[in-house]
Amino acid sequence: MNVGGAFPERRSEAKEAVPRPFTSYQEALSWLYGTQLFGIKLGLESVHRLFAELKIPDPAQRIIHVAGTNGKGSVCAMIDSILRAQGYRSGLFTSPHLVSFRERIQINGEMISESDVALGLTKIRDRVADWDPHPTFFEIITALALLHFREHEAEFVILETGMGGRLDATNAAQPIVSVITPIDLDHQKWLGHTLIAIAGEKAGIIKAKTPVVSARQLPEAEKIIRARATECEASLQFVRETYSGEVALVGTHQKQNAALAIATLRSASIAIDDASIARGLATVTWPARFQHWDERTVIDGAHNPAGAHMLAETWREKFADARATIILAVLSDKDLAGICRALSCIAERFLLPRIRSERAAPPEDLAAILREAGRARPPGAPTIAIQTADTFANALTKARSYGERILITGSLHFAGETLAFLEGVPAAYEECLQ
């Protein structure tokens, strides 16, 4: 018998082949962010397999599924806040994050811990290491969220789609109610270049005989939603009213979002009293949605023309004809011209910083688009100053030297970088492509 030769060496090699657990949050996050190299893959085969491997979601949990173009996050936050006000244990999954990845997964308002991220991602990594195709970033974080909600016994789970709906990883879960916020043009590369095509993807979250609650929609989108609900024999309610009570989030559109959140809970037959609704909506928090950082400064993550139009309307609601110094940074795959046109009506000047996201449009490109938009303005319209800046810090210093209120907008990624800077912890910003 060979006791000390090649056999023990082979056994040692076998031991080393077994991946060790992630020893830190940073190590786990580095692996997770590396999976962005697998790109965006719309489809449910891998995520169904992943859910089966991990035995998620917990069949005892009641899932609320939310899709749409604008307002998804706000509606999710409102539903979560009302459920918590009633005393339920609520899990919330949203994207993207602003500063920390951990914001995406919360139970009762508490972010997932760093240790739970490391533990959960270790479990997932070990199961998918040899899969072909490998699960994508979004499939993995959807599974991580549902694993966390199962292990920490959330009673309700609120899932925000990442993009689209029909082929989104979150659509592998069976909800008790499907929710559709206002639909408009965004993510055209993936969802289609017409409102009808995009509405078809969003309406794909509608399940057989499962209630559907929708915001007021443009006629083309409403027609698609009605057809899908009929096909699925799903009850359908369009919410056209506005909530009349206090909402902590600013703007008429947030009162419409509040009415949608209430209708969702009612449609799902969840026991909620009026006092909990009022308390939940009066205390809801959702950063970077017309967020007043100080008396002069507003931060908003509007990132498509529809969102920018809504932002401009809200600005007028709050500040009438007062014009803004706008610090603007937009991701290059967005409708840059549409966003610039929507914001020009409230702008005194634009400051265009170079930001950390590698997806951001170069400030020089935005400046050219804004100058072109200026040439198309009617005769007599005020001239809008345009300046670029090497960094956000320099842009903010310039903005503060002027007299107007300051609006920081164009991207949720940019809003996250802004918040980390203003909070004095710029290194805490965990940049992510998705």
pLDDT tens digits, 176-225: 999 999 999 877 777 887 999 999 999 999 999 999 999 999 999 999 99
For β-strands 110-111 and 105-107, DSSP reports them as: antiparallel
pLDDT(381) > 90: no
Mean per-residue pLDDT, 365-390: 89
pLDDT-derived band at 245, boundaries 50, 70, 90: very high
- Its pTM stands at 0.94
Q: How far is CA 216 from CA 66, 115, 181, 219, 239, in A?
A: 15, 42, 8, 9, 6
E strands in 186-300: 212-215, 236-239, 291-292, 297-299
pLDDT-derived band at 11, boundaries 50, 70, 90: very low
pLDDT at 375: 80
Between 228 and 7, the higher pLDDT residue = 228
pLDDT(15) > 60: no
Q: How far is CA 251 from CA 48, 145, 190, 254, in A?
A: 39, 30, 30, 5
pLDDT at 13: 43
pLDDT(354) > 80: yes
pLDDT at 41: 74
pLDDT(315) > 80: yes
pLDDT at 280: 98
What is the Cα–Cα distance from 22 to 149, expressed in whole angstroms?
A: 20
The two three-digit tokens of residue 299, written as one number: 């931060």
What is the Cα–Cα distance from 166 to 310, expressed in whole angstroms?
A: 26
Q: Which of 103-117, 231-245, 370-384, 393-407 has the lowest mean pLDDT?
A: 370-384
What is the Cα–Cα distance from 207 to 380, expressed in whole angstroms?
A: 53
pLDDT-derived band at 378, boundaries 50, 70, 90: confident
pLDDT-derived band at 164, boundaries 50, 70, 90: confident
Mean per-residue pLDDT, 276-282: 98
pLDDT-derived band at 12, boundaries 50, 70, 90: very low
The two three-digit tokens of residue 95, written as one number: 């994207």
pLDDT at 40: 72
Mean pLDDT of the chain: 93
pLDDT(298) > 80: yes
Q: Which of 81-85, 114-118, 371-375 has the lowest mean pLDDT?
A: 371-375
pLDDT-derived band at 17, boundaries 50, 70, 90: low
Q: Which of 30-39, 111-120, 375-384, 414-423 has the lowest mean pLDDT?
A: 375-384
pLDDT(320) > 80: yes
